[in-house]
Structure 1
Amino acid sequence: MALFCAFALRLWYLQVHKGEQFAQKARENRLRQEFVYAPRGLIYDRDGVLVAVNEPAYALGLIREDVADIEKTLAQVSEWTGQDIAELRATYRQGRKKVKPFDRIILAPNISFDLLSSIEAGSHRWPGLEIMVRPRRNYPQGPLLSQILGYVAEANDEEITRDTDLQLADTVGKQGLEYVLESQLRGRKGLRQMEVDASGRLLNERQVSQPSSGQSMTMAIDLDLQQFATEEMEKLGHAGAVVVMEPFTGQVLAMVSTPTFDNNAFASGLSTEQWAALRDDPRHPLQNKATQGVYPPGSTFKLLVALAGLHEGIIDPSETVFCGGEMKLGRRVFRCWNKHGHGRVDLKRGLVESCDVYFYEMGNRLGVDRMEAFAKASGFGSTTGIDLPHEKGGLIPSRNWKLQRFGERWQGGENLNFAIGQGYTLVSPLQLARFVSSLLNGGFLLKPLLVDSEEPVVQGRLLATAQQIKMVLDTMVATVDMDRGTARRLRRSDARMGGKTGTAQVVKLKTEDRGKKTEEIAYEFRDHAWLVSWGVKDGRAVVIVCLVEHGGHGGEAAGPVSRAIYDYLFGPLGGTSTTMDNWPYVAGVEPNPLEKYAIPLQIVPKTAAKAGKTGKSGKLAAPKSMTQPVGLASADTTEGANSVSR
């Protein structure tokens, strides 16, 4: 009797008290849910050419609850795919910890079409294994846009924890625009409910919710121009960068960084060996040198120092300084790149022939505080805010920075190196492109834009008058037009061109290496070559900045690349030359169209120039990065009496 009562009590407990719970579990075992992947938004170039698309990809998944013998099943997968059995076991164990019951564990994320047919032919003998169809990102142009587009890859644990919409094996943007625009590009998954029998065979299914595609984007990049500029850089065989920018919109038409990599390799999955080869390459193909590379600006920085001197009133354009090939400050000697000297030099000739002694004198008069303030107010020392991750802001040194970094006081001789773009100063090619654009557009510092539909974003204004800016632009024109000009390679009879070369020392050369030709110096010790320039033809204006790592002299290495790009943009020689008088915004003759994007700003008085004020206006306000303290950027730089810049 007691035994019967116990049995009846247990039966009541299971059927009545726990009945609904077990019924729910039975329904869950019969009904399964799975997410339906949403197509990622497409990306186009400015002319509507697809540069990031989706294609079907096949993966082999495993549902643990449907597998009778996991070890035999993994061995079969290894036989099919050629994967190491130990790696498959590790993948399975890791996935088992992260997925919910009846969720799939991805064992082989990328299965070829040929292998797919073999697996499908034998998969019926292996319950729990399923072929999955998922969208995979594809970049038709491959390496050409890798530094800009970036790539997608599987979400890591941190990303999955942070974003509840993500699951194991989901892909997310990891670099470039794919990363920055992740929320717009990703879209929203759908949900499907499936009814299965005890063996896991599908009986019925219904769509609970439809997937929503991600938003498509159009870039400002011109694909044909990007390809042309890349080919010109690759002819040199050097690492480097090119930025082509519209000065009145901030749109970036081309952004080249060489060498590059194939972002499709990341979308399909890199091996450990492939990743190590990219990571350890001394020419850093994973680095976007236009935004993440920071270098001494060399003589390109003389444009800023000239403008600062005019603004501060310490430069009279007609005043001359004598250059005998060197300048003495105390017991130190600072040499000009022209050891024979330039003779009497005024502002125009100082920039045209890039006389170091002239700018040593300007740096000595300005001092570190005013040069620091003017440089930071001109956008250096902070990021530009471009829609790319991991941008570097470079370095504009100061008294406090040196004291904190080295525990040393600022020395007078360092003002001289500062003025010729040597010493501690570091800038990126994109920063220089924005600065040169501001000279041409009337003084507006614009955010560089990679998305075509955006309006200009004004982040600040130069601390100079329109007339002072025009004086600097006129010297850039002379640097191209005059026979002794260092940028004379850019000269075209049908366009107004302006430029400034720069030769940035990487290390201080040994005595026996001074005077040698570039090709006679060890590659890693050769100077970096700069050319910053602009061109105006038939109402179209563009700015081009070219950096060639270890290229030697700016005009010789960067000049041919820049000239080729201008010829591509402007076409064969023909038409009439565009003079600066026909570019009225520069001289302040007509209202500047950029005025509507920013509140009117007062020119900062000379006595307050150290503050480096910039303007803000609603959504067009400068990003936070414009005002953040500058961190120390590591790079090979040089300081001392032998620094010369050309």
Structure 2
Amino acid sequence: MSDNLKISRDKKGNNKKGKDGSTSNPLDNLQGRLVIILFMIIIAFAALFFKIFMLQRSKSKEYNQKILSQQKYDSRDIPYKRGDILDRNGTYIATSEKVYNLIIDPKQINSDQEDYLNATVSVLSEVFGYSIDELKSTIAQKSDSSYVKYAKDISYDQKIAFEEKKEEYNKSYKESKSSERVYGIWFEESYVRRYPYGSSACNVIGFANNEDLSGNSGIEQYYNDQLIGVSGREYGYLNDESSLERVIKNPTDGNKVVSTIDLNIQKIVEKHIAEWQSSTGSNMTAAIVMNPNNGEILALATSRTFDLNNPRDLNNYYSPEQQAEMDDKAKVDALSNIWRNYAVSDTYEPGSPSKVFTVASAMEEGVITGNESYDCKGFEEVGGWKIRCANRNGHGVLNVTEALMESCNVAMMDISRAEGSQKFYEYQKVFGFGSKTAIDLPGEADTSGLIHTADNASATDLATNSFGQNYNTTMIQLAAAYSSVVNGGSYYQPHVVKQILNSKGAIIENIEPELVRETVSAHTTAFINEALRRTVAEGTGSAAAVAGYDVGGKTGTAEKYPRGNGNYLVSFIGSVPAQAPEVVCYVLVDTPHVADQARSAYASSLFSKIMTEVLPYMNIYSNVDESIDVSKFPAAEGITDSNTQKQEESKNYSTEEVIPNDGGNGLPGAPAGEGEE
């Protein structure tokens, strides 16, 4: 170190003089240098601040957008309202009720944890009964989130109750100078599907899943594309001024569907089915009420019902123990069976209502005129098999009308044989058997492989098909076919929806009746209607009579496969007024819970009870067209009350098996004959 930089002191601590005689302090030099350095740092910071300022002025938009673009903005869907379903009178039978999701914003609550957290969870617990510990745990676990869907299906009343309590508490906190607040809770709109009438018309309406709002069975499924809407969206974006803006795209609600169902008629039908089930009961009881002149279904009900508001409840059909033993597949199968629409999806052998079509087709082809007579000895040998009539002692000599009135199998076999296989099976197709009706409901059964054709039918097949055994149909097929015969020959496509409206109620589409084809002539209709009127007034359908009305109809008693077990499916299909029908009702009772099942009166009497209430409601009166001279039809001749009484007394019903269980085409075989009451 050079001499002039050395610090030297004398013994008293004073600075020594230098060689030139001056004194010096090295600390003063160091302080000066520090001042210079500090000044240079200040200049550098000033320059940096100036640079930032200039950048902010020139490129503020670019940098702001970069910064803001890294921030998270929560967007949300805005739910649409699924379209309502109405009955034909405008009664809401399915609707979407506005509810709310309870949303918690942990970020807001945690912004002042103690003051906001305790107050907020206390009010939530007080109003909704939620656990305070669980609420705090959720908020802690989701502390970085601004959106936690904590609860669903909050009602409007619950929402208002919370908001009023929140306002009350926050006002109190403010007045007491407390920093506590109920904070960070809001409600998000949503919709839940409601069915005001529970299980009523469940087979027709179906239900919608609240999770994804998709339809399941019934109108809900078939018209799902009309009923669903489009969700809206709320989202944020940066505008040209780099300000965060929120945009709301409003949802589009689904369309409304107006059904052909009359809820009042539906309830009448359901009431009488329930009464039957609670007294005698059966494996299945079902009924269809329809307008034969346009194909509109006014009511459709079965004894297999479920609550549309809780469609996955198995308690009405399975005990808790049975449910506990079910795996997921078993539960799905059980629910599918409950939701299954028997009237559309299940097939069976129809029995004697088919005799209407046997007579009608033969008359259309000129094979019979109605003047023919048949001698029933109680059986007939066909194809080497002895096929019995319902009356084992025989009906004796009957004309065509009497054959329908007494439900004679032998006469039907003779008529079908005279018509021949080719024409008989052609008319089965004309009447719609073996083809779907294309009703606007899901799950319609395909019966194309469940009927015979002229190419594969044996003589035995033809004979048994003539009285409704050895081929399968569905309730909706038979009701549509029968309607075409009694309405003058017009086959209308059956349907359950008549209008589509937009969410505001304006008509988008009128679903007009669709005439599919002509089946029979007016002359054949007049003959059949008179014969069916006498079937109820004097023949086997007497239990279906309705006081004050002329009712036409046909009974059915079909032995179920496998034969010989004593199980029967009994039915009645009728039309009112008989000569100019305005309504058709088809009632089916599958396996009555009685020892003697072979009695069509079970179904006929149920028909009578239903129609006794439905006809006055529909303002239908006994109005037989007196201009029709029924005496010109052979049906009006040749039978008296005394003759009918003698035939009733001589009946001896048979359940004996007389032909193979396999009808020759893989189809179930027919029993000896039908027992008719």
Instruction: Return the TM-score normalized by structure 2.
Output: 0.65
Whole-angstrom CA distance in 1 between matches of 2:66 and 2:627: 80
Offset at residue 28 of structure 1 (A): 6.7
Percent of matched pairs sharing the same residue: 24
In structure 2, the CA distance between the partners of 1:58 and 1:526, relative to structure 1 (3 Å rule), is farther
Equivalent position to 2:95, from 42, 53, 56: 53
- Show CA shifts across 1:373-401 (max 9, x none): 11111122222222111112435756669
Offset at residue 33 of structure 1 (A): 2.4
| Structure 2 SS opposite 1:452 | strand
In structure 2, the CA distance between the partners of 1:294 and 1:129, relative to structure 1 (3 Å rule), is farther
Q: Is the 8 A contact 1:368 1:399 kept in 2?
A: no
| Structure 2 SS opposite 1:531 | strand
| Structure 1 SS opposite 2:83 | coil
Deviates more, 1:349-358 or 1:109-118: 109-118
Whole-angstrom CA distance in 1 between matches of 2:384 and 2:146: 76
Is residue 433 from structure 1 mapped to residue 479 from structure 2 by the alignment? yes
Q: Is the 8 A contact 1:177 1:387 kept in 2?
A: yes
Equivalent position to 1:227, from 264, 267, 271: 267
Offset at residue 288 of structure 1 (A): 1.1
Match of 1:360 in 2: 413
- Show CA shifts across 1:70-129 (max 9, x none): xxxxxx9xxx989xx9xxxxxxxxxxxxxxxx99897865568999999x99xx99x999
Match of 1:501 in 2: 555
Offset at residue 37 of structure 1 (A): 0.9
In structure 2, the CA distance between the partners of 1:445 and 1:62, relative to structure 1 (3 Å rule), is farther
Q: Is the 8 A contact 2:552 2:578 kept in 1?
A: no
Match of 1:15 in 2: none
Match of 2:172 in 1: none
Equivalent position to 1:260, from 305, 310, 333: 305
Q: How does 1:494-533 map to 2 (within 5 A)?
A: 494-510=548-564, 526-533=567-574
Q: How does 1:33-182 map to 2 (within 5 A)?
A: 33-59=75-101, 132-153=188-209, 169-182=211-224
Match of 1:415 in 2: 462
Whole-angstrom CA distance in 2 between matches of 1:544 and 1:487: 14
- Show CA shifts across 1:20-57 (max 9, x none): 89956943744332221111222221222111122233
Amino acid at match of 2:669: E
Q: Is the 8 A contact 2:202 2:308 kept in 1?
A: yes
Whole-angstrom CA distance in 2 between matches of 1:415 and 1:211: 59
Is residue 488 from structure 1 mapped to residue 542 from structure 2 by the alignment? yes
In structure 2, the CA distance between the partners of 1:576 and 1:136, relative to structure 1 (3 Å rule), is closer
Q: How does 1:219-618 map to 2 (within 5 A)?
A: 219-237=259-277, 238=282, 239-266=284-311, 284-395=337-448, 397=450, 410-423=457-470, 425-453=471-499, 454-462=511-519, 464-482=520-538, 485-492=539-546, 494-510=548-564, 526-536=567-577, 541-551=582-592, 552-553=597-598, 555-571=600-616, 577-581=622-626
Amino acid at match of 2:624: T
Offset at residue 562 of structure 1 (A): 1.2
- Show CA shifts across 1:126-177 (max 9, x none): x9998643100100101112111111115xxxxxxxxxxxxxx432112211
Q: Is the 8 A contact 1:380 1:393 kept in 2?
A: no
Deviates more, 1:320-329 or 1:134-143: 320-329
Q: Is the 8 A contact 2:416 2:466 kept in 1?
A: yes
Match of 1:590 in 2: none
Offset at residue 335 of structure 1 (A): 0.9
Offset at residue 339 of structure 1 (A): 1.2
In structure 2, the CA distance between the partners of 1:148 and 1:398, relative to structure 1 (3 Å rule), is closer
Whole-angstrom CA distance in 1 between matches of 2:497 and 2:518: 22
Q: Is the 8 A contact 1:494 1:578 kept in 2?
A: no
Q: Is the 8 A contact 2:391 2:675 kept in 1?
A: no
Match of 2:647 in 1: none
In structure 2, the CA distance between the partners of 1:349 and 1:208, relative to structure 1 (3 Å rule), is same
Offset at residue 179 of structure 1 (A): 1.6
Whole-angstrom CA distance in 2 between matches of 1:153 and 1:282: 14
Whole-angstrom CA distance in 1 between matches of 2:553 and 2:617: 20
Offset at residue 240 of structure 1 (A): 2.1
Amino acid at match of 1:148: V
Offset at residue 279 of structure 1 (A): 5.2
| Structure 2 SS opposite 1:550 | strand
Q: How does 1:187-206 map to 2 (within 5 A)?
A: 187-193=229-235, 206=246
Whole-angstrom CA distance in 2 between matches of 1:572 and 1:44: 19
Q: Is the 8 A contact 2:421 2:454 kept in 1?
A: no
Q: Is the 8 A contact 2:486 2:581 kept in 1?
A: no
| Structure 2 SS opposite 1:242 | strand
Q: Is the 8 A contact 1:301 1:420 kept in 2?
A: yes
| Structure 2 SS opposite 1:433 | helix
In structure 2, the CA distance between the partners of 1:368 and 1:205, relative to structure 1 (3 Å rule), is farther
Give 5+ residue unaligned stretches, structure 2.
1-60, 111-120, 122-128, 135-144, 167-179, 500-510, 633-665
Amino acid at match of 1:526: N
Amino acid at match of 2:541: A
Whole-angstrom CA distance in 1 between matches of 2:474 and 2:306: 20
Amino acid at match of 1:33: S
Amino acid at match of 1:301: S
Whole-angstrom CA distance in 2 between matches of 1:31 and 1:573: 60
Match of 1:99 in 2: none
Deviates more, 1:561-570 or 1:53-62: 53-62
Match of 1:642 in 2: 672
Say which one has the larger Rg: 2
Give 5+ residue unaligned stretches, structure 1.
1-18, 69-75, 86-101, 155-168, 197-202, 403-408, 514-524, 588-635
Whole-angstrom CA distance in 2 between matches of 1:547 and 1:153: 31
Whole-angstrom CA distance in 2 between matches of 1:571 and 1:417: 39
Q: Is the 8 A contact 1:353 1:479 kept in 2?
A: yes
Instruction: Return the TM-score normalized by structure 1.
Output: 0.68
- Show CA shifts across 1:431-452 (max 9, x none): 2221222123211111223223
| Structure 1 SS opposite 2:216 | strand
In structure 2, the CA distance between the partners of 1:131 and 1:492, relative to structure 1 (3 Å rule), is closer
Offset at residue 351 of structure 1 (A): 0.5
Offset at residue 507 of structure 1 (A): 2.4
| Structure 2 SS opposite 1:379 | coil
Amino acid at match of 1:499: G
In structure 2, the CA distance between the partners of 1:560 and 1:62, relative to structure 1 (3 Å rule), is farther
In structure 2, the CA distance between the partners of 1:341 and 1:580, relative to structure 1 (3 Å rule), is farther
Offset at residue 639 of structure 1 (A): 0.7
Whole-angstrom CA distance in 1 between matches of 2:146 and 2:95: 27
